[in-house]
Chain A
Amino acid sequence: MSSKGITSRSSFLLGILCLVVVLLATSPMYAPAYIVILLTSILMYVVLTVSWTIFSGPTGYISLAPAAFFGIGIYTAATLGEALPLAAVVIIGGLVSFIIALLVGAVTLRLRGIYFAIFTFGLVLLIQHLLLWYEVNITGTRGRFVIVVDNTTIFYVMLIIFVLLMLTAFFIRRSKYGLALQSIGENEEAASHIGINVTVLKVITFAISAIFMGAAGAIMATRWTYIDPYIAFNTNFSFLPVLMAIFGGMGQLYGPFLGAVILAYLEELLLTEFPYYYMLLFGIIMVVAILYLPNGIVGLIQKWRKEGFRRKHANT
C-alpha cells in the first residue's frame, strides 16, 4: 500500500469521526431524552473498550482491570462530588486512576499471559472488598449518594472524554511508540534487545488507558446517584470491554469502537425487550461471534473488501 493511500484513508476515517462527533454533539437539541441517555451508555462502553485496546490490543497483555479504574472514578465522584466542580471531579477521577495504574503496573507488568489477567482481575475484587470493609467498619454505611447532574451535561462530558480518547488512541497508534507496543506483543525479549524500554512503555501506556476509564467512572456515577462497592466495582465492566474489543476486532482503531457501539446497543435492546433472557441471548451472540468471527467485525469487513476487489477484477 502506498503511503498516499494510508494518508487518504486515515483522513477519511478522521472525517467520519468528526461527522459522528458533530451528530452526537447536536443530538440533545432534537433527540428525545431517552436517546441522549442511551447514547451516554453507549459512549461509556466505547470509552472503556477503546481505552482498554490502547494497551491490551497491541501488547496482548489481557487486562481485566477496567472495572477497578472505572470504580475508582466512581468513588472519586462520590467522595468529592459535593466539594468540587464537576470538571475537577472528572479530571481527578482520571488522575487517581492514572496514579494507581502506575503503581499497579510497575508491580504487575512483569507477569505475563494468564498471570497478568488473573492479577488484574484480583485487583478489582481487592479494591471492592477493601472499600466494603472500610465502609461497613469505619463509616458505618454501605453505599453513598452521588451529587445529581442533569443528563445533557453527563452526555457532553462523556462526549468530551470520548473525543480526547479517540485522539489519544489515534496518535499513539501512529507514533513510533504504537509500533513499539506492537513489537512487545510480538516478542517482548527481542523488543528489549533493540533498545526499547519495555517496562516503562508498558507501565505508562497502561496508566494512560486508565485515565479515561477513571474519568468515565466519575461522570457515570453522577447518573447512578447511589453507589456501593458492588455497583462501582461490578466485574462486568472488566469483561464487557474485552468482549466488545474482540467482537469488533483489534486490527483497526474503528474495530473496538464498532464492537462497543453494537454490543452496547444490543445490550440495551435485549434488556428492554427480553429482560429475563437478556444474559442468555447476549451469551449466545458472543459465542457465535467468537466461533465465526475470529478477527471480529474488522476481519469480516476486510474479507468482504478483498472478495469485492477480486470480483471486480475478475469481471474485467
Chain B
Amino acid sequence: MPILEGYQVTKNFGGLTAVAHVDFNVEQGEILGLIGPNGAGKTTLFNLISGALTLKSGAIKFKDKTISGLRPHQICRMGIARTFQSIKIFANMSALDNVLLGSLFGPKSVMSTNEASAKATELLDFMELSNSKNTPAKDLTLVNQKKLEVARALATKPELLLLDELMAGLNPTEVIHAMELVKSIRAKGITIIMIEHVMKAIMNICDRIMVLHHGEKIAEGTPHDIATSKRIIEVYLGE
C-alpha cells in the first residue's frame, strides 16, 4: 500500500503552471528520487505535500487520508517532515534547542520536556553533532547545518521525510557521508523522497526516480531505466 499518493496535483502561480496534473505514489519504506531541471516544480511539489502551498486542483493522500488543505503544522504532526533547499534553521538558538523544538511540537503524542530533551540529544548523536550541542546554529559549518535540519525533522517522528537538495554544496567526501546517512534513516523505517542534483547520489541510493520537467511528470522508473532513457538524457542529463 502506498504511503503517499497524489492525484492530478496542480499548482499555478498566476499564469505560470508550476506543477501540472502530476500523479504519483510513494511506497512504504522506499527512497524516491525527484529530479529535473531548475524550475521543473520539484520544490513546489514538496511545498504542496508539506502544506506550505495549497493545491489549485487535485488531491494528496497520506496513509489514505487527504492532507491537501491542511496547514503545515497539522501535516507535520500526521508524520511528514521536511528540510529546505535554502537552510532554514533557528540561527541564534543552540543546536540542541533547534532539535528540541522538533521533539516538543512535532510528534503526534506530546512528550514531557525531559523525554523530548533526551530524544533531541539522541538525534544529535545519531547525526554526529554531539560536540556542537550548545553551539548557536549559525556558527555551524554548512554540512553540519544541513545535518541539523535533518535532525530537527527527524525529531518530529516522521514516517515520511522530504529532503530538498541535502547534498547541494557538499564536497565529494561529505556527499558519500550524506548518502550513508540517508540510508541509515531509511533503515529506521522512514520513507524518503529526495530532490537531488548530485546524480551519483540519486543513482546509488534511490529505489525509484521520478522526473519532472516544466511541471509535468515525464518519466518514472528505476535508476537504470532513467539513466538510459533517451528523452531524459535530452532534457536533463545531457550527453
CB contacts under 8 Å to A, within B97-156, are 97, 100-102, 104-107, 113, 116, 134, 152-153, 155-156
Task: Give the residues in chain A near B77, CB-CB below 8 Å.
Answer: 195
- Over the window 141-173 of chain B, the binary record of Cβ atoms lying under 8 Å from chain A Cβ atoms (1 yes, 0 no) is 000000000001101100000000000000000
Beyond A176-B113, A186-B93, A189-B52, whether A194 also contacts B101 by CB under 8 A is yes
Task: Give the residues in chain A near B73, CB-CB below 8 Å.
Answer: 192-198
Can you spell out 19 A-B residue pairs with CB atoms less than 8 angstroms apart? A180-B104, A186-B89, A186-B91, A187-B88, A187-B90, A189-B52, A190-B88, A190-B90, A190-B152, A192-B76, A193-B52, A193-B72, A193-B73, A193-B76, A193-B81, A194-B73, A194-B105, A195-B73, A196-B105
Task: Give the residues in chain A near B88, CB-CB below 8 Å.
Answer: 187, 189-190
A194 touches B93 (CB 8 A): no
The list of the 7 closest CB pairs from A to B, nearest first, reads A195-B106, A186-B90, A190-B88, A195-B105, A195-B76, A192-B72, A194-B102
Which residue of chain B has its CB nearest to the CB of A199?
B71
Task: Give the residues in chain A near B100, CB-CB below 8 Å.
Answer: 179
| A residues with CB within 8 A of B | 1, 176, 179-180, 182-183, 186-187, 189-198
B84 CB within 8 Å of chain A: yes
Task: Give the residues in chain A near B102, CB-CB below 8 Å.
Answer: 194-195
A194 touches B91 (CB 8 A): no
A176 touches B89 (CB 8 A): no
Task: Give the residues in chain B near A191, CB-CB below 8 Å.
Answer: 90, 101
Which residue of chain B has its CB nearest to the CB of A193?
B72
Given contacts A182-B93, A194-B156, could you give 14 more A-B pairs where the C-beta distance is less than 8 Å?
A176-B105, A180-B101, A183-B93, A183-B101, A189-B52, A189-B88, A190-B84, A191-B90, A191-B101, A194-B73, A194-B76, A194-B81, A196-B105, A197-B73
Which residue of chain B has its CB nearest to the CB of A175?
B113
Cα separation A17 to B103 with both chains bound (whole Å): 33
Q: Is the interface of A mostly helix, strand, loop or mixed?
A: helix
Which residue of chain B has its CB nearest to the CB of A188?
B88
- Select B92's contact among A186, A192, A196, beta carbons within 8 Å: A186
Which residue of chain B has its CB nearest to the CB of A3?
B117
Task: Give the residues in chain B near A1, CB-CB below 8 Å.
Answer: 134
Task: Give the residues in chain A near B153, CB-CB below 8 Å.
Answer: 194
B82 CB within 8 Å of chain A: yes
| B residues with CB within 8 A of A | 50, 52, 71-73, 76-77, 81-82, 84, 88-93, 97, 100-102, 104-107, 113, 116, 134, 152-153, 155-156
Which residue of chain A has its CB nearest to the CB of B157?
A195
- Select B101's contact among A179, A189, A197, beta carbons within 8 Å: A179
Beyond A189-B88, A190-B84, A195-B73, whether A176 also contacts B93 by CB under 8 A is no
Cα separation A25 to B50 with both chains bound (whole Å): 53
Cα separation A257 to B155 with both chains bound (whole Å): 36
* Minimum Cβ distance to chain B for residue A306 (Å): 16
B106 touches A179 (CB 8 A): no
Cα separation A181 to B178 with both chains bound (whole Å): 31
Cα separation A1 to B91 with both chains bound (whole Å): 19
Task: Give the residues in chain A near B101, CB-CB below 8 Å.
Answer: 179-180, 183, 191, 194, 196
Cα separation A186 to B149 with both chains bound (whole Å): 14
A194 touches B106 (CB 8 A): yes
Beyond A180-B101, A183-B93, A187-B90, whether A194 also contacts B52 by CB under 8 A is no
A176 touches B104 (CB 8 A): yes
B52 touches A183 (CB 8 A): no
Cα separation A179 to B152 with both chains bound (whole Å): 14
Task: Give the residues in chain B near A179, CB-CB below 8 Å.
Answer: 93, 97, 100-101, 104
B90 touches A193 (CB 8 A): no
B89 touches A187 (CB 8 A): yes
Task: Give the residues in chain A near B81, CB-CB below 8 Å.
Answer: 193-194
B90 touches A182 (CB 8 A): yes
Task: Give the residues in chain B near A194, CB-CB below 8 Å.
Answer: 73, 76, 81, 101-102, 105-106, 152-153, 155-156
Cα separation A1 to B100 with both chains bound (whole Å): 17
Task: Give the residues in chain B near A198, CB-CB below 8 Å.
Answer: 73
Task: Give the residues in chain B near A187, CB-CB below 8 Å.
Answer: 88-91
Cα separation A175 to B92 with both chains bound (whole Å): 18
* Minimum Cβ distance to chain A for residue B39 (Å): 21
Which residue of chain B has its CB nearest to the CB of A182?
B93
* Minimum Cβ distance to chain A for residue B193 (Å): 15
Task: Give the residues in chain A near B104, CB-CB below 8 Å.
Answer: 176, 179-180
Which residue of chain B has its CB nearest to the CB of A176?
B104
Which residue of chain B has its CB nearest to the CB of A189?
B88
Cα separation A146 to B156 with both chains bound (whole Å): 54
